[in-house]
């Protein structure tokens, strides 16, 4: 199957990732640990842009950029340097952003995603280093705001901006790219994506007969998908009505799910890039081999190894490697002697499903427990222990509990106030699988008490058998294995 892309959609992304796992900012020693701090408590003359203050580049920023470049299969520049991008805005105290221009540290990379028609390659044009501006807080709503408050704690945070080729052909592909990209960065351990402002995105999109429109500053993967769906629809409608798409920058209103044209500037943007005289050029390509050795196993390689080593389905391997913490958790469970295929099913299908249902995203793994936070409300946390998963799968494979009971155990542990082990839950709720004679008794009762259903079934109505199985489950309070109950009923009725 080949994806036809009927509307000629072309999407390119620019992604800003904050290197928030580093200890200090990009050009000064201010701590990066400012997320819960009072405003303007993590600043100094350098990141406040005071006259005479001089920047000195954090070595680890360069290393992280090279790591990212290698993971994106890009080229690392022989020589690279910084430029000043000049513009006035209150979040930018120096009047310029320190960024890279014509000599970015990384160029010509690629990422393979699950596209509309199978594996699809997205080109990476470049990735470069730059510093983050401060944060503006409007007093009141943006429209009626009487003034703006500025917090420079974020000013000078190291960022890596990655620019893709316009290789994505649908909002879904853009979303898939972002998921994969974030996953790769988490494997590299260069950023914590759950911190506020850790990843910000701009999306370029065009359709047949139109021109490129940029949607700026979207803060979530879902937001990018929604903004693009809206924007493609809008552009198609304009063209269908005989209108013309103007090249412009739009803003995404996440609450309303629409993009809004920003006021056109009277003057074209003119950043007057020039070389940053306060920072020396870099020749760091000789660091590459050493950094390459420190690269962790990346998602695609891990996925292939899981299939090979544990004999699990590709679908499971893909789900399990979609987050480094989840992959480590799975291997932690397997190391305790749990059957890898059973562990894959219970973790990838059941546990992940239950987490998604509760809007929980995995945020940590410490070797024994996987931590989650609620996607919409970060104050809601949850966790699952390796030991509990090991016990649960063992109880199921030993035939002590039914699959239905095992799912209930997972749900109870996730929703419970107190920490409980699977065994405690099973005992409290009486979830042990019924003894065979109990099921036999229930089967016999179900048959004698439901003469009509029995006749219907014998007359060819398969549905009536489901009713009878239901009766058996009811009588055994759900502890019978549904498949066994069905087999026993059929055997009783049809010999």
| Closer residue to another protein in complex, CB, 86/194 | 86
Based on the shown chain and the rule CB under 8 A, indicate whether residue 81 belongs to the binding site for another protein: yes
| Closer residue to another protein in complex, CB, 20/384 | 20
Based on the shown chain and the rule CB under 8 A, indicate whether residue 23 belongs to the binding site for another protein: yes
Based on the shown chain and the rule CB under 8 A, indicate whether residue 494 belongs to the binding site for another protein: no
Instruction: Compute the least distance from the CB of residue 98 to another protein, in Å.
Output: 14
Based on the shown chain and the rule CB under 8 A, indicate whether residue 290 belongs to the binding site for another protein: no
| Closer residue to another protein in complex, CB, 21/110 | 21
Based on the shown chain and the rule CB under 8 A, indicate whether residue 192 belongs to the binding site for another protein: no
* C-alpha angle 283-285-289 in degrees, rounded to nearest 5: 145
Instruction: Compute the least distance from the CB of residue 308 to another protein, in Å.
Output: 37
Based on the shown chain and the rule CB under 8 A, indicate whether residue 148 belongs to the binding site for another protein: yes
- Residue 405 dihedral angles phi and psi, to the nearest 5°: -65, -40
What part of residues 152-171 is at the interface with another protein (CB under 8 A)?
Answer: 152
Residue identified by tokens 């049809």 is 494
Based on the shown chain and the rule CB under 8 A, indicate whether residue 29 belongs to the binding site for another protein: yes
**E strands, 210-359, where?**
213-218, 249-253, 258-261, 274-275
Using the contact rule CB under 8 A, the part of the chain among 133-141, 294-302, 337-345, 380-388 near another protein is 133-141
Closest CA to 370 of 331, 416, 396: 331
| Closer residue to another protein in complex, CB, 150/258 | 150
| Closer residue to another protein in complex, CB, 39/197 | 39
Q: Which residues, at least 6 apart from 275, have a Cβ–Cβ distance to it below 8 Å?
A: 81, 82, 83, 84
For the four alpha carbons of 231, 90, 135 and 46, in that order, the dihedral sign comes to positive
Give start and end residues of each alpha helix (H) in 314-450.
314-320, 324-335, 340-344, 352-357, 386-397, 403-415, 422-429, 436-449
| Closer residue to another protein in complex, CB, 228/282 | 282
Instruction: Compute the least distance from the CB of residue 48 to another protein, in Å.
Output: 7
Based on the shown chain and the rule CB under 8 A, indicate whether residue 216 belongs to the binding site for another protein: no
Instruction: Compute the least distance from the CB of residue 257 to another protein, in Å.
Output: 23
Residue-level length of the chain: 495
What part of residues 32-71 is at the interface with another protein (CB under 8 A)?
Answer: 32-33, 38-45, 48, 56-60, 62
- Residue 65 dihedral angles phi and psi, to the nearest 5°: -65, -40
| Closer residue to another protein in complex, CB, 115/158 | 158
For the four alpha carbons of 358, 361, 366 and 367, in that order, the dihedral sign comes to positive
**Number of residues located near another protein, criterion CB under 8 A:** 54
| Closer residue to another protein in complex, CB, 286/417 | 286
Based on the shown chain and the rule CB under 8 A, indicate whether residue 90 belongs to the binding site for another protein: yes
58, 327, 465, 493 from 449: Cα distances, Å: 78, 50, 14, 14
Instruction: Compute the least distance from the CB of residue 312 to another protein, in Å.
Output: 39
| Whether the Cβ atoms of residue 176 and residue 13 lie closer than 8 Å to each other | no
132, 150, 158 from 38: Cα distances, Å: 18, 12, 20
Q: Which residues, at least 6 apart from 451, have a Cβ–Cβ distance to it below 8 Å?
A: none
Based on the shown chain and the rule CB under 8 A, indicate whether residue 267 belongs to the binding site for another protein: yes
C-beta contacts of 195-199 below 8 A and 24+ residues apart: 195/18, 195/20, 195/35, 196/35, 197/18, 197/135, 197/154, 198/17, 198/18, 198/20, 199/15, 199/16, 199/17, 199/18
Based on the shown chain and the rule CB under 8 A, indicate whether residue 284 belongs to the binding site for another protein: yes
Q: Which of 114, 116, 150, 197 binds another protein (CB under 8 A)?
A: 150
Q: Which of 108, 216, 275, 305 binds another protein (CB under 8 A)?
A: 275
Instruction: Compute the least distance from the CB of residue 266 to another protein, in Å.
Output: 9
* C-alpha angle 20-21-23 in degrees, rounded to nearest 5: 95
Q: Residue numbers of the site for another protein (CB under 8 A)?
A: 22-24, 28-33, 38-45, 48, 56-60, 62, 79, 81, 86, 88-90, 136-139, 145-152, 263, 267, 270, 272, 275, 277, 279-284
């Amino acid at each position: 199957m080949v994806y036809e892309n009927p509307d000629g959609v072309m999407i390119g992304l620019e992604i800003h990732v904050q290197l928030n796992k580093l200890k200090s900012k990009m050009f000064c020693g201010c701590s990066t640990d400012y997320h819960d701090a009072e405003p303007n408590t993590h600043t100094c003359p350098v990141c406040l842009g005071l006259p005479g203050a001089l920047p000195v580049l954090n070595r680890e920023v360069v290393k992280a950029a090279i790591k990212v470049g290698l993971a994106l299969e890009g080229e690392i520049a022989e020589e690279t340097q910084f430029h000043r991008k000049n513009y006035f805005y209150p979040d930018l105290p120096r009047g310029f952003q320190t960024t890279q221009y014509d000599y970015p540290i990384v160029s010509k990379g690629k990422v393979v995603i699950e596209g509309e028609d199978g594996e699809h390659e997205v080109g990476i044009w470049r990735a470069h280093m730059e510093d983050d501006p401060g944060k503006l807080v409007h007093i009141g709503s943006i429209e009626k705001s009487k003034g703006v408050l500025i917090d420079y704690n974020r000013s000078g945070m190291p960022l890596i901006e990655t620019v893709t080729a316009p290789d994505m052909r649908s909002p879904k592909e853009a979303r898939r790219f972002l998921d994969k990209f974030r996953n790769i960065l988490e494997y590299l351990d260069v950023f914590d994506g759950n911190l506020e402002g850790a990843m910000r995105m701009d999306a370029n999109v065009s359709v047949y007969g139109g021109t490129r429109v940029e949607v700026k500053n979207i803060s979530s993967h879902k937001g990018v998908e929604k903004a693009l769906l809206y924007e493609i629809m809008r552009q198609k409608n304009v063209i269908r009505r005989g209108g013309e798409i103007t090249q412009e920058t739009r803003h995404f209103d996440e609450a309303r799910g629409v993009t809004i044209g920003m006021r056109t500037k009277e003057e074209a943007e003119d950043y007057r890039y020039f070389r940053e005289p306060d920072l020396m050029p870099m020749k760091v390509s000789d660091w590459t081999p050493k950094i390459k050795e420190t690269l962790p196993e990346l998602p695609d390689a891990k996925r292939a190894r899981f299939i090979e080593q544990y004999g699990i389905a590709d679908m499971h391997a893909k789900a399990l490697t979609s987050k480094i913490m989840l992959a480590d958790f799975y291997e932690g469970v397997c190391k305790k002697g749990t059957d890898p295929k059973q562990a894959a099913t219970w973790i990838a299908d059941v546990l992940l499903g239950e987490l998604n249902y509760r809007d929980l995203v995995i945020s940590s793994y410490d070797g024994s427990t996987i931590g989650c936070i609620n996607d919409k409300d970060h104050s809601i946390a949850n966790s699952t222990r390796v030991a509990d998963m090991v016990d649960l799968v063992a109880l199921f494979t030993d035939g002590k509990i039914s699959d239905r009971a095992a799912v209930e155990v997972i749900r109870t542990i996730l929703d419970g106030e107190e920490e409980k082990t699977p065994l405690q839950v099973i005992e409290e709720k009486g979830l042990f699988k019924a003894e065979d004679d109990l099921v036999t008794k229930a089967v016999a009762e179900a048959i004698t008490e439901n003469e009509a259903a029995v006749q219907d079934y014998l007359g060819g109505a398969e549905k009536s058998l489901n009713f009878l199985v239901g009766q058996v489950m009811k009588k055994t309070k759900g502890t019978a294995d549904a498949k066994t109950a069905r087999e026993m009923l059929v055997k009783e009725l049809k010999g």
